[in-house]
Amino acid sequence: MSSRRQDRLLSALLREDTWITGPRLADLLGVTPRSVRAYVTALNARVPGGDAVVSGAAGYRAGVSARAALAARAGADSTPRARLHGLVRSLLDDPNGIDVFETAERLHVSEATLEADLAKVRSLLDGASSGSRLVLERDRDVVRLRGAERDQRRLLSRLAHDEMDAADFPLDPFRLALGGGSIPAEAVAPFRAALVAELSGLGYYVNELAIADVLLHIAIAADRVAAGRELDSGEAAETAGDAVAEVIGRLSRERLGVELGAGDLAHLARLVLTRIVTPGGTDAATLARAGLDPVVEAAVRAEVVQASADYQVDLVDDAFVLRLALHVQNLLRRAQEQSRARNPLTRSLKSAYPMIFEVAVSVVGGLQERLGLRVDDDEIAYVAMHIGGRLERSRRAASLLTATIVCPGYYELHEVLRSRVDRSLGQGIEVVRVITAMDPLASEIDTDLVLSTVPLPVAAERVVLIQPFLTEADVERVQQAAARLRRARRLTRLREELSRYLSADAYVHPLPDVGEEGIIRLLGGRLVDAGLIGEDYIENTIHRERLSSTAFSDALAVPHALQMTARRTAIAVGVAAGSVAWGTGRVQVVALAAFSEQDRDAFQTVFEQLVEVFGEGDSVQRIVRRGATFAGFLDELVAVIDG
């Protein structure tokens, strides 16, 4: 029975925090409902109360001991992956090597199993970055790990990250990397707080999202130095961060009890400067531009201009280009060192803001061509955060709804009410008119919403009754009404667009589980046969998929090319009988979107709203259940959109 799938099931229940049916869980995991029941039994057996997962008529949901069940699994050290991690740690810790027979006995495994684990270690080293020179040497029964200290540390960091990537629940990277070492994992948190305070005192803005990865490198360095494994000054890249190096050295001495040498300090200061800090203060722009490569700035500016035109968004701003160029320059330095910056918000950014993420993919794709950049989803997510910050103001203005206040005149009552509405709701609603009559004419009310202190016969669907003195309950009702109106408008546009772009000839059920490229070629072939796209569009779509997975939710993937070169906009849809593998997960619906230049405006509407509709579990199940035929799929999709 797969413990990994058990963890994925429990993680899905914790993430949704509601009832999920057995069939839907089976689709998410790519198993049968019977297997789901077996997994639930195994999960409940992990905890004394047997209440990790609660079962009911509505399906399953996370119980009070759900997190304890994950922790129990996280603490297990008998899995093949954990054993491999421990074996590599032993090789890294002992420069004289390990005895094969003694190690097999210590790990309570057969010699054949240990030999198989050593083969995995060799594969791990062969698959390491091109700059790594780590090799396994064997002299009869003794196996040694040879290579530069910097490469050995990188391997230790990689193992910790691999453990976290493979887990479907949070793991402590410091315990993974420092287990059995001289630096206690508990010492990292106080060190972190002191480091952030010191860096802020030096005038830097600190990226709290990326700091954990740098702390992991610092902790590994301290642990290795304590064991007599210092980094030679020749192995560390040069850095101008003398003040940062001084801070790291002093805090390592005071908080971790380790004296770091010049090589370690230079290397760690460079990591801090390229990963987690940005110059702050009034002279930030001057300081930043002084260290910025003009080639990088020119490339970033060109891609920002191109993305602004392609997606019709306002990104062209000198301050924004400067900040993004600094980030890209640091990204290039990380790539040269075969290191990466993790982003804990990648998943949520991708599902909640697919269009912003898509613009980031476009920018990064262009920088690949210009600068030879190679990045993963975490790095793309950081670029998306830069873009999202720039676009947030214009996005908020576009979502403003107009409102009329109806409040019968009595002294200054209507003025007080308007003032309260502006203060409480001004970010999402703009009051354009105040009517003080008891019975306003229908012709006077042409706004999105009507906030009235008296019942009105006109525009009933837009009226929200409020008190003359605005209450918290009033604010909540208005916000809910505004959210319903925005959603209705978005989905109405989606329904109109989909009715033009979907067709029975480009519909596949059941969708075969043949991998991303196979599915893209299958769906794209339908559009090629219809004369809507060329073979080049399929290849460009596969290229886009390799940049970043287009699975924007647990149910839906929307593969597409970055270029809008379709002869006419169309969407080919495939619905799986259960689910199909896509990226590192599984999806139930794949919508290959091919847009023409003339329909550029529709791209954002269709893209974001499809992700929204298929991000709701109940809606997905309704649509998929009727998906055996195109007519059934389309009818249920329209019904879901109409609410």
Asked if the bond preceding 510 is cis, omega within 30° of 0, the reply is yes
Q: Residue 128: its pLDDT value, please? A: 57
Answer yes or no: are the C-beta atoms of 558 and 607 closer than 8 Å: yes
Whether residue 502 has pLDDT greater than 80 = yes
Q: pLDDT digit string (tens) for 91-127?
A: 888 888 888 888 888 877 888 888 888 888 888 787 6
pTM: 0.71
Average pLDDT over residues 147-169: 72
Average pLDDT over residues 526-540: 93
246-255, Cβ contacts within 8 angstroms, sequence gap of 24 or more: 247/195, 247/198, 247/199, 247/202, 248/195, 248/218, 248/272, 251/191, 251/194, 251/195, 251/198, 252/191, 252/218, 252/222, 254/194, 255/187, 255/190, 255/191, 255/194
Q: What are phi and psi of 181, to 5 degrees?
A: -85, -175
Question: How many Cβ atoms sit within 10 Å of the Cβ of residue 487?
Answer: 14
CA 196/CA 178 separation, integer angstroms: 22
Whether residue 325 has pLDDT greater than 70 = yes
Amino acid at position 513, single letter? D
* CA 300 to chain CA mean position, Å: 22
Sign of CA dihedral 635, 636, 638, 643: positive
Average pLDDT over residues 201-213: 78
Q: Residue 625: its pLDDT value, please? A: 85
Q: Residue 236: its pLDDT value, please? A: 47
Q: Residue 282: its pLDDT value, please? A: 47
Task: Please report, in angstroms and rounded to a whole number, the separation of the first and last CA atoms in the chain.
Answer: 40
pLDDT tier, 1 (very low <50, low <70, confident <90, very high otherwise)? very low
CA 546/CA 549 separation, integer angstroms: 7
Pairing of strands 142-146, 98-99: antiparallel
Whether residue 526 has pLDDT greater than 80 = yes
For residue 470, CA distances in Å to 109, 405, 408, 420 come to 70, 12, 15, 7
DSSP 335-380: HHTT-----TTHHHHHHH-HHHHHHHHHHHHHHHHHH-----HHHH
Q: Which of 195-199, 277-281, 577-581 has the lowest mean pLDDT?
A: 277-281
Q: Residue 362: its pLDDT value, please? A: 92
Nearest to 310 by CA among 356, 359, 364: 359
Which helix (H) or strand (E) segment holds residue 516: the answer is helix 515-529
